[in-house]
């Protein structure tokens, strides 16, 4: 009876926490949109949105550890991170410097409120399924990288319920090579536990962000976009406590 009661209390507690976290998040998003419509200047708008990206995590008691901050180059670069949760974009927005533009999957254009917010902070939308759109978007990423924009993206393209790291798309890595900018692998841990695929209510947890050493595309070992993508993926796998979904053992 005691165990049953404790289990029931835990279920209720998790439910209340999830509802509270969603309320805080929605209020933060609305405040961020309001700020982006009023605040002049791209950098200021990004700083404002970063504050409201961190706020719901802080108010929900989600502790975040960041390791390797000093490894982000002062020059232009492309950050690539593993993708495990709806939270990942919020995490990068909240904790990376405001000079980064975020590369978002094109389906997010279908949500007007989110689209306004993302456009106001200079995000780039890419098509994952339409061939002509993907080619156009790849050229846009190359232009952005060549023009001196620092980019942040999830090269897996999306995330799934199963734990593990999937295959990386090579578009951003081709842009890095042609623009001559370093690639910075970033590992996000803990977000899958807090807000996994298929779940509506978030759970309490802990987030860890590991910023790894930059990879210079000038290195001849990474002369192709596929080689550069695989090197970044292997470095993330080395730190991430999840399996390789491209290996035969994980199938």
DSSP-assigned beta bridge partners for residue 188: 209
* Longest pairwise C-alpha distance within the chain: 66
The 10 Å Cβ neighbour count of residue 180 is: 13
pLDDT at residue 2, rounded to an integer: 65
Sign for the pseudo-dihedral over CA of 147, 125, 140, 76: positive
Given 3.40.1130.10, 3.40.190.10, 3.40.50.1980, 3.40.50.180, which CATH number is that of 63-250?
A: 3.40.1130.10
- Three-state helix/strand/coil letters over 88-157: HHHHHHHHCCCCEEEEEEHHHHHCHHHHHHHHHCCCEEECCCCHHHHHHHHHHHHHHHHCCCEEEECCCC
Report the length, in residues, of the chain: 251
For the chain, the domains span 63-250
Per-10-residue mean pLDDT, the chain, length 251: 69 89 94 94 95 95 95 94 93 94 78 84 73 58 80 90 90 88 96 90 94 87 86 96 77 44
Sign for the pseudo-dihedral over CA of 73, 78, 79, 82: negative
Q: How far apart are CA 102 and CA 123, in angstroms?
A: 5
pLDDT at residue 80, rounded to an integer: 96
pLDDT at residue 250, rounded to an integer: 47
DSSP-assigned beta bridge partners for residue 208: 65, 189
**Structural contact between residues 215 and 183, judged by C-beta atoms closer than 8 angstroms:** yes
Q: Computed over its alpha carbons, how large is the radius of gyration of the chain?
A: 19
């Amino acid at each position: 009876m005691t165990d049953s009661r404790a289990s029931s209390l835990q279920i209720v507690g998790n439910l209340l926490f999830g509802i509270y976290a969603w309320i805080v998040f929605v209020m933060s998003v609305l405040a961020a949109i309001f700020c982006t419509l009023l605040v002049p200047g791209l950098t200021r708008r990004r700083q404002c949105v970063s504050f409201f990206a961190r706020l719901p995590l802080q108010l929900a008691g989600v502790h975040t550890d960041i390791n390797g901050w000093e490894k982000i180059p002062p020059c232009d670069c492309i950050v690539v991170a593993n993708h495990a949760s709806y939270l990942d974009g919020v995490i990068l927005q909240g904790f990376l410097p405001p000079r980064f533009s975020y590369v978002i999957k094109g389906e997010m254009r279908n949500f007007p409120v989110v689209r306004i917010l993302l456009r106001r902070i200079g995000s780039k939308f890419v098509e994952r399924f339409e061939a002509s759109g993907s080619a156009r978007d790849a050229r846009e990423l190359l232009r952005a990288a060549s023009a001196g924009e620092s980019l942040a993206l999830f090269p897996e393209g999306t995330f799934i319920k199963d734990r593990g790291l999937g295959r990386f798309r090579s578009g951003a890595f081709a842009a890095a090579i042609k623009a001559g900018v370093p690639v910075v692998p970033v590992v996000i841990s803990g977000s899958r536990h807090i807000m996994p695929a298929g779940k509506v209510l978030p759970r309490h947890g802990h987030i860890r962000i590991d910023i790894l050493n930059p990879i210079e595309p000038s290195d001849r070992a990474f002369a192709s976009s596929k080689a550069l993508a695989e090197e970044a993926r292997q470095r993330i796998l080395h730190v991430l406590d999840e399996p390789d979904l491209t290996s035969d053992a994980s199938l």
